[in-house]
Amino acid sequence: MIMYVSAILGGLILLIWGAERMVTGAGVTARNLGVSPMLIGLTVVGFATSAPEILVSATAALDGVPNLAVGNALGSNIANMGLIIGLTALIWPLVVASDTLHREFPVMVLITIVPIIVFWNGHLSRFDGVVLLLAFIAYFCWIVRLGMRTRGHDSIEAEYAAEIPTDMSMGRALLWVVIGLAVLAAGSIALVWGSENVALEFGVSNLVIGVTIVAVGTSLPELAVSVVAARKGEYGLAFGNVLGSNGFNMLAVLGVAAVIGPIEVEPDVFSLHLPVLLGFTVAFFFMAYNRSGSIRVSRLSGGLLLAGFVGYYSYLGYQTF
């Protein structure tokens, strides 16, 4: 058991460090190629911070535990809203006036409905996975077009630009991308192996391990980015990080896992985890979105989101043990 727990902790450390290195390297590489900070923040950073979820889910699917991948995708989005936004807003009330994020927010809500469509028969086929990946490509292209239309006159562009190092060469940036990917791959293998064996030892389903240990672990890079950004007053970066990650998780993470191998979805997905995800999404949207063009989450709203997250995990613990 000590070996399995050590593998989980070691895997999480590798995922956090690897994601941070990959985000930095990818951001600098894109900037050196002439990509605007707006597009880097909306696409490159969003994809890089979701890389742990994608690699862990792919590893889980290859290892024959696809429901761990499903739990990872659903649980990561719940953690993004309940833990990351909840905790961040509880410390620093979040207010953002951004036309880009204002347009992206409703689309993220619509994307969250996707699992209802693809899970309706309790089976996620390779065809479903291809559809999800095609939807991800369409979403990615829409994000690029949105970023091109709003760059130059959106306040969050300055926040994205401030986070990209200016003293790193192209060669070093590319090296960090390669190292980051390698470390992420090693971390995902260790995390999945340790999680699978802990589940076997305690008689817990891989789905539960996926929505708890793995989901929170792979969401730690997003948590670090959001907390650091909010502490600097860069609230747009904190919001954009979560919105982009949620969209990527629902489409790319589930899509990659399904393409690798068909998934028989466990009943608890429909009876508990998916309703909780939809509940958090609807609550987050109505708490934060308004027609004035701004997005805001007060301390009270942040506290409610965090309380909901703690309550969800407490119920999972009670139900499991």
Query: What does the pLDDT read at residue 305?
Result: 96
Q: Kindly list the domain boundaries of the chain, sorted by start residue.
A: 2-320
Q: Looking at the predicted structure, is the pLDDT value of residue 161 above 80?
A: no
Query: What does the pLDDT read at residue 130?
Result: 93
| Residue-averaged pLDDT of the chain | 86
Please check whether residue 224 is in contact with residue 83, taking contact to mean a CB–CB distance below 8 angstroms.
no
Query: What does the pLDDT read at residue 85?
Result: 93
CATH superfamily of 2-320: NCX, central ion-binding region (1.20.1420.30)
C-alpha span between 254 and 131 (Å, rounded): 10
Q: pTM to 2 decimals?
A: 0.89
- Rounded average pLDDT over 57-77: 89
Query: What does the pLDDT read at residue 66?
Result: 87
Q: Looking at the predicted structure, is the pLDDT value of residue 162 above 80?
A: no
